[in-house]
Amino acid sequence: MGHPNVKAIHSSKAVGEPPFFLASAVFFAIKDAIVAARAEVGCNDWFPLDSPATPERIRMACLDEFIAPIISSDFHPNLSV
């Protein structure tokens, strides 16, 4: 399995882990932005946000004045793949 890197922190890797965690940071930043948008319209309920966070899912989760008449706060879009 190779030689352990004695200079590494907690057996960290040099290639795979940073992009993975950076991508998850973007996903959760989007979710935090949706939480803020929903709070502006008085909706503080939990909501699902599946990955991938497509523009459709983000827009529908925001519940702004254009989306609210169309869907309810518990709307869950289908995977469009």
Enter the tokens of residue 70: 């169309």
Q: How far is CA 75 from the centre of its chain?
A: 16
Alpha helices, H only, 1-81: 17-40, 55-62
Active site positions, annotated:
17
Enter the tokens of residue 10: 């907690």
